[in-house]
Chains A and B, each alone.
Chain A
Amino acid sequence: MNDATSSPQSVLVLGATSDIARAITRRLVERRARRIVLAGRDRAGVERVAEEMREAGASDVTTVAFDAADVGSHREVIDKAFAGGDIDLAVVAFGALGDQSRDERTPEAAAALVTTNFTGAVSTGVALAERMREQGHGAIVVLSSVAGERARRSNFIYGSTKAGLDAFYQGLADSLVGSGVRVLVVRPGFVKTRMTEGMKPAPLSTTAEEVAEAVVRGLERGSGTIWVPGPLRAVMVVLRHLPRPVFRRLPI
């Protein structure tokens, strides 16, 4: 169960090897989380994260194979996780950055990115919501991005997948009002992780640990959407309203 300070006892992580997911899971284990189900495609990587969580104090860590692009398998993966008992909190953290210059010239690659980042997030979201509705409680934390708030020339395919994901989970949150299930949409800015290695950090860049801390606080506060770092919220309000010719020319 989630306690009065919104600390979960059991956590399912989809995309468990991502740096942000690992940081969030670790923070939750440091609090109350004892049963952890880690799902991911890279089995060896998932096992390493499992070991890390056991060392951090989780007493019951299991792993399950999960491929975000294989949407037909999602219901089964999620049912398997819930078969071991209630899941208090699910983290939807899988996703890829893609390669904009390649993807915008390769229809298959662009569609594959959309399948992983958006379609996969939709099918897991529907399955999670169904299970959590039945158990009468739960929280879903989903990793969106500020890139979804307004598509940029430099990464609009990735941005559009996050825009779709973000819209879907906002709507899912509304559909779950009164069910005991809540959704926290997390919009980080540039996060220094393995996924962004080699890229030049944008202004207001952040770290996986800061995102994890913000998630814990967002859950405690009962937030629906958070930006990390917080000031990005105001920045995005401005950026969203810039005329397109201006926005397009911004060095971001």
Chain B
Amino acid sequence: MAPELLTGWGRTAPTAAEVLRPRSPEEVSELLAAAGGRGVIARGLGRSYGDAAQNAGGAVIDTTGVDAPMEVDPDTGVARLGGGVSLDAVMRHALPRGWFVPVTPGTRQVTVGGAVAADIHGKNHHHDGSFATHVSALTLATPAGVRRLGPDDELFWATAGGMGLTGVVTEAVVRLMPVETAYVWVDTDRTPDLDSTLALMAASDADYRYSVAWIDCLTRGASMGRSVLTRGDHASLDQLPQKARGAALSFSSAARLAAPPWAPAGLLNRLSIRAFNEAWYRKAPRRQRGRIHSIGSFFHPLDGVSGWNRLYGKRGFLQYQLVVPFGAEDALRRAVERLARGDCPSFLGVLKAFGPADPGPLSFPAPGWTLALDLPVGPPTLASLLDELDEVVAGAGGRVYLAKDSRLRPELVEKMYPRLGEWRAVRAAADPAGVLRSDLARRLGLLEDTK
């Protein structure tokens, strides 16, 4: 079979791999057993921004065609989901029945397996934790055989955030969340600077299930870090206007627009990004309470534009997401200050306070402030700017998110993820021959102790 060129969602660093398309969990196991010298990695919907679901010169298992269950217990909300099933499909199935996924990222187009492997978080992390917290059982196809895992197993937590390097998740049992409607009520607050943003989040995030701030990382001076905070929770039936109550749980996930297949490099430049950020901030209400939004517009605004990543042109873009512990606000401020110089313009960043971490050694979320930014590739200072931010983050006891990484300096991985050694030991037991490989693992030296 001819190799296919693959990239992550950021469309950088393409590499070629043979893409295998198994139809059943049994076939997944067979493919793992038959893997060649350059190994194999699972790939779902390709929403990791960097090279997590690529395996140059080896094989990539596309999990989206695996025949998979989608069963939701109507009374308890406990769902048996195939690893290649998208959260979009889960929502379309479960929402009309009154259940919602416990954690959703900024897009519905991720698979359940990917959600576990990246241990994804959403706007409710401070309230509900990350995805794996809501998983009660995993079926993991490893090169050493199929394992049924629960939260008491070390391999379960090595898989949560393990970036696919422990095996292929073929099934997960997930506890869904009951909802009365497919709507969310939202309070909006516009804040004038970074300090007031952090203060407001610290003071009242506990009152909300969902909380996130869109932060303008291009404005300097007194308004540096100005943000639009949106916080809310699922709307109950009586919070909906009368006329919406009849179809309170109906949910449409169709994209309304599609990005053109081709966009010039540099379409999203310093000027256009600055103008967008300005407009976004200006159009937000200073203070608004209880506005009703659909689930799609609140959680997944970009899903409305299919292929929006193409707008960054052929050079692509990268996402940088950091977390620094509470108390390290200075590090966060330094990061925002550096970004605000504007030589590497970023679209509205996302700022959020994380809650407690789960036990996964490579799970990204940890108590503290997280900031995520989309940055077009192109500015000559981008590589050194991000290296600089890495040092600030690592120095503050923070880390960057592996599911989004595409350029971290390998020397910093162990500093950012001090439990890497522990993870390696558990992983090696599940994959003694070292069959599971990815470009991410190669680039960062995740699998081997290089010291």
Most buried by A among B10, B50, B409: B409
Q: Does B132 contact A (CB under 8 A)?
A: no
Q: Does A5 contact B (CB under 8 A)?
A: yes
CB contacts (< 8 Å) of A136 on chain B: these are 3, 15-17, 38, 55-58
**B15 to A4, Cβ gap below 8 A?**
no
CB proximity of A10 to chain B, nearest CB, Å: 10
**A1 to B383, Cβ gap below 8 A?**
no
CB contacts (< 8 Å) of B314 on chain A: these are 222
Q: Give Cα distance in the complex from A136 to B16, angstroms.
A: 5
The segment out of B22-30, B66-74, B374-382 that lies at the interface is B374-382
**B10 to A180, Cβ gap below 8 A?**
no
Q: Which of A3, A31, A32, A217 contacts B13 (CB 8 A)?
A: A3
CB contacts (< 8 Å) of A1 on chain B: these are 13, 15, 51, 56, 439, 442-443
Q: Does A74 contact B (CB under 8 A)?
A: no
Interface residues on B, range: 20 to 34
Q: Does A135 contact B (CB under 8 A)?
A: yes
**B3 to A4, Cβ gap below 8 A?**
no
CB proximity of A14 to chain B, nearest CB, Å: 22
**A4 to B14, Cβ gap below 8 A?**
no
Residue interface mask A27-50, B partner, CB < 8 A = 1: 000011010000000000000000
CB proximity of A202 to chain B, nearest CB, Å: 27
Residue interface mask B1-20, A partner, CB < 8 A = 1: 00101000010111111000
Q: Does B340 contact A (CB under 8 A)?
A: no
CB contacts (< 8 Å) of A145 on chain B: these are none
**A178 to B380, Cβ gap below 8 A?**
no
Q: Closest B-chain residue to A216, C-beta based?
A: B380
Residue interface mask A132-156, B partner, CB < 8 A = 1: 0111110000000000000000000
**B16 to A137, Cβ gap below 8 A?**
yes
Q: Give Cα distance in the complex from A187 to B407, angstroms.
A: 28
Q: Does B318 contact A (CB under 8 A)?
A: yes
Q: Does B162 contact A (CB under 8 A)?
A: no
**B14 to A3, Cβ gap below 8 A?**
no
**B315 to A221, Cβ gap below 8 A?**
yes
**A135 to B38, Cβ gap below 8 A?**
yes
Q: Which of A86, A137, A220 contacts B378 (CB 8 A)?
A: A220
**B409 to A4, Cβ gap below 8 A?**
no
**B5 to A180, Cβ gap below 8 A?**
yes
Q: Closest B-chain residue to A6, C-beta based?
A: B13
**B10 to A178, Cβ gap below 8 A?**
no
CB contacts (< 8 Å) of A86 on chain B: these are 56, 442
**B378 to A221, Cβ gap below 8 A?**
yes
Q: Give Cα distance in the complex from A6 to B57, angstroms.
A: 18
Q: Give Cα distance in the complex from A226 to B38, angstroms.
A: 33
Interface residues on A, range: 20 to 34
Q: Does B114 contact A (CB under 8 A)?
A: no
CB proximity of A11 to chain B, nearest CB, Å: 15
CB contacts (< 8 Å) of A31 on chain B: these are 383
Q: Give Cα distance in the complex from A180 to B411, angstroms.
A: 26
**A222 to B439, Cβ gap below 8 A?**
no
Residue interface mask B52-64, A partner, CB < 8 A = 1: 0001111000000
Q: Does B130 contact A (CB under 8 A)?
A: no
Q: Give Cα distance in the complex from A4 to B9, angstroms.
A: 12
Q: Closest B-chain residue to A179, C-beta based?
A: B16
**A4 to B407, Cβ gap below 8 A?**
yes
Q: A31-B383, A221-B315 are in contact. Are A3 and B57 (CB under 8 A)?
A: no
Q: Does B219 contact A (CB under 8 A)?
A: no
Q: Which of B33-89 contact A (CB under 8 A)?
A: 38, 50-51, 55-58
CB contacts (< 8 Å) of A7 on chain B: these are 383, 407
Q: Does B316 contact A (CB under 8 A)?
A: yes
Q: Give Cα distance in the complex from A198 to B265, angstroms.
A: 42
Residue interface mask B220-255, A partner, CB < 8 A = 1: 000000000000000000000000000000000000
Q: Give Cα distance in the complex from A135 to B37, angstroms.
A: 10
CB contacts (< 8 Å) of A170 on chain B: these are none
CB contacts (< 8 Å) of B443 on chain A: these are 1, 3, 9
CB contacts (< 8 Å) of A137 on chain B: these are 13-16, 56-57, 439
Q: Give Cα distance in the complex from A98 to B14, angstroms.
A: 39
Q: Does B321 contact A (CB under 8 A)?
A: no
**A134 to B382, Cβ gap below 8 A?**
no
Q: Does B406 contact A (CB under 8 A)?
A: yes
Q: Does A100 contact B (CB under 8 A)?
A: no
Q: Does A2 contact B (CB under 8 A)?
A: yes
CB proximity of A137 to chain B, nearest CB, Å: 4
Q: Closest A-chain residue to B57, C-beta based?
A: A136
Q: A180-B14, A180-B16 are in contact. Are A4 and B50 (CB under 8 A)?
A: yes
Q: Give Cα distance in the complex from A44 to B318, angstroms.
A: 42
CB proximity of A180 to chain B, nearest CB, Å: 4
What are the 10 A-B residue pairs with the smallest beta carbon separation, nearest first?
A: A136-B57, A136-B56, A4-B406, A180-B16, A4-B12, A1-B443, A137-B15, A137-B56, A3-B407, A136-B16
Can you list 16 residue pairs at the A/B interface with Cβ under 8 Å?
A3-B443, A4-B377, A5-B383, A7-B383, A86-B56, A136-B3, A136-B16, A136-B56, A137-B13, A137-B16, A137-B439, A179-B5, A180-B16, A180-B57, A220-B315, A221-B265
A contact set with B: CB distance below 8 Å: 1-7, 9, 31-32, 34, 86, 133-137, 178-180, 217, 220-222
8 further contact pairs, Cβ within 8 A, besides A5-B377, A220-B315: A1-B442, A4-B10, A134-B57, A136-B38, A136-B56, A179-B16, A180-B56, A221-B265
